[in-house]
Each structure stands twice: as C-alpha cells, then as structure tokens.
Amino acid sequence: MFKFRPDWFLILPSLLLILISLAIIRSVAPGLVFNQLIFVLIAIGLYFIFATVDYEVFFSLHPVGYFLFLFLSLVTAFFGVLSRGSQRWLLIGQFTFQPSELIKPFLLISFSALAVSKIKHSNYWLFLSGIIPVIVIYLQPDLGTSLVIFIGWASIVLSKFSLKTIALIILLLAVVTVPVYKFVLHGYQKTRIMSFLNPYQDPLNNGYHVIQSTIAVGSGQIFGRGLGRGTQTQLKFLPEHHTDFIFASISEELGFVGAFTVILLYGIIFWRVYRISQTTSDSKASLFCLSSLALLGFQTFINIGMNLGLAPITGITLPLLSAGGSSLIAVAINLGLINSIALDLKNTEGLRIA
C-alpha cells in the first residue's frame, strides 16, 4: 500500500518550473513570495503523500471525492468570497482557496473509474458526472475552469467512441457554436472573444490585456531584460503579471531562452505522463493519465496562447507557474497520483524500458 520511488521525469521538470515561478514572483510581486513558498512546501508534501500511497486506494474512494466536490460547491455558493463578480473562493484565515481547482484530480479519478465500471448504466452516470461540475463551475461564473474540467472529462468520454463518432461529435459542436455564443456565454465572455479577434478596437479597456501582454513578450527578445528590469511588469502596465500573464513576465525578463525553457520542461512532463499511460496495464489508471494530460495540456496551451495573443483571455492559470496555492496544489496531487501509477507492480517491467 505504501511505496515510493521518485519518477525524476516528473519531479525534476516540475521543480524547475516552480523555481522559475518563485524567481519571477519575487521579481514582479515580492510581497507574495512568502505565501507562495508556503504553498510550494504544501504542494511538495502532498505530491509525496499521493505518490507514496497506492493509487488504488484513491480510486476505491472516488465517490467520496465526487461528493466532496458537490459539498464544497454548495459551501462556496453560500459562503464564498465574492470577487470581480464571481463567487469561486473560500476564505480560511488569511488564505483563500478555490475548491473547483483543488477538486480537479479527484474529478478525473471519478470519471476514469466510471468509464471502466461494470455498474448498470455506467455510461449514463459517466455523462452525468461530467455535466454537473461543468455547469456548476460555469455558473459561479468561471468559464476557464469549467472548460478545463470539460476537456479532462471529454477526453475520457471520447476514448469510448470510434474515430467516425468522434468526427460527428466535433461537427455537432461546430454547429452549436453560434447558439452557445449567443445564448449561453455571459456578456463579459463575449467581449473577451471580440477583444481577442481585434484588441485594438478597444485598446484602453477590453483589448488592454492582450496588447500589453504581446508587448511584454516581444520586448524580452532573446535573453530578456533581466529579473526586475521588465518595463511592462515592473511599471505595472501588464495586468495580472504574476498569475494569468506570468508567461509574459517570464518572456520579458528571461527572454526567448526562458520562455523556450518553460515550454521544454512542460514537454518533458507531458511526454512522461503519456508514456506512463501507455505502459500501465490498468485501464482506469491509463485513462486517468490521458485525461490529466488533456487537462494540463489544454490549460498550458490556452494560457500561453492568450499571453501571445493567440487565444481568448479565459482566466486559466499556467500549471506550476502562476502565483496562488489552489492550482499548484491540484497539479501536485495530480502528478503525485501519476507517480504512484508509475510504481504499479504490474507495469514495472514496462517502465524499465520507457
């Protein structure tokens, strides 16, 4: 039940990304370094716990994790902290945390377990288990997190279909895009999409974030301006420079070399997660790894894309880099579970040749 062998292809890139994060946060928001360091220590401890305990234990308790999400959602709805028109956070002492972030790995466990379950109407329960959190989180409102969870859930659902069926589903999604835009999205979400398409239409308001972010990325050039010397970040032209737009801060102060290093480190983590998903003989563990890859990959792609002006601004954080504890801890738990899957005795032989 308890065993630990570090998977360095997961641990080393993650630690390097965290070190880059701390360096940038110290540069652009020094007042947050101490809190972030506390979150880092908590995340490392949780990684060790989830990597040490047999992942089967957590999968056997997957209904508990799912109902914990429902409970925290109700608590957030009634007692959550209201900020910028959204009620997504709970306050404990001096710290706030976002339940919808922390619960991500446990939702993926539930989705993966239901996908291979032999219970009656398992496909129905799989469908329902994914739709509920997506809708609940969207109504907070939090489009970014609901999209991320939807991608993780959809990657599991699509694994049960043929390529022909997947193509039809994609076609259907394309057809409903216009009605969704018109009747489902909130006004501010529509504005973000329009400002993405043409940020200079409203450069001082809705297009401001995108314009300042692309300026910051471009001004870093090859080697960057140096820590503490980025004009966009240090002079506060770049909004959310330590959270949503931390990649732009990295690009400005560490340049192309720093940005490329970040992308390379993510690539190593994603490659390793995929490799583990293909070597494990446990189908639910494989689905969990693949859905984690889809979730983290989507989150990384969208965040970096919006920093480069290639994707709409959605408020999606950059895993392991953005300041804040909820996202960091959730990713640490997720990677810890994947480390535990890599230690499964059934796939030890396969991992030796990975």
Domain segments of the chain: what residues? 8-352
Residue-level pLDDT at 349: 44
Distances 64 to 71, 137, 339 between C-alpha atoms, Å:
10, 19, 22
Residue-level pLDDT at 352: 44
Residue-level pLDDT at 161: 75
- Taking the C-alpha atoms of residue 7 and residue 19, their distance in angstroms, rounded to an integer, is 18
Assess contact for 21 and 36: CB atoms under 8 A. Answer: yes
The pLDDT tens digits along the chain (354 residues) read: 677 789 999 999 999 999 999 999 999 999 999 999 999 999 999 999 999 999 999 999 999 989 988 888 888 888 888 776 678 888 877 778 888 899 999 999 999 999 998 888 888 889 899 999 999 998 888 888 999 999 999 999 888 777 777 788 778 878 887 787 777 777 777 777 777 777 888 787 778 888 999 999 999 999 999 999 999 999 889 999 999 999 999 999 999 999 999 999 999 999 999 999 999 999 999 999 999 999 999 999 999 999 999 888 888 999 999 998 999 999 999 999 999 999 874 444 444 434
* Residue 347 amino acid letter: N
Residue at token pair 């993780």:
152
Q: What tokens appear for 348 in the block?
A: 């030890």
- Taking the C-alpha atoms of residue 297 and residue 301, their distance in angstroms, rounded to an integer, is 6
Residue-level pLDDT at 1: 65
- 304-342 CB burial, b ≥16 within 10 A, e <16: bbbbbbebbbbbbbbbbbbbbbbbbbbbbbbbbbbbbbb
- Taking the C-alpha atoms of residue 89 and residue 97, their distance in angstroms, rounded to an integer, is 5
Residue-level pLDDT at 94: 74
- Backbone Cα Rg of the chain: 20
- Taking the C-alpha atoms of residue 98 and residue 315, their distance in angstroms, rounded to an integer, is 13
- Taking the C-alpha atoms of residue 70 and residue 321, their distance in angstroms, rounded to an integer, is 28
Residue-level pLDDT at 123: 83
Residue-level pLDDT at 10: 97
Residue-level pLDDT at 225: 95
How many C-alpha atoms does 29 have within 13 Å on its Cβ side?
Answer: 23
DSSP state of 53: B
- Taking the C-alpha atoms of residue 291 and residue 341, their distance in angstroms, rounded to an integer, is 14
DSSP state of 69: H
- Taking the C-alpha atoms of residue 231 and residue 217, their distance in angstroms, rounded to an integer, is 11
Q: Phi first, then psi: give them for residue 96, nearest 5 degrees.
A: -110, 145
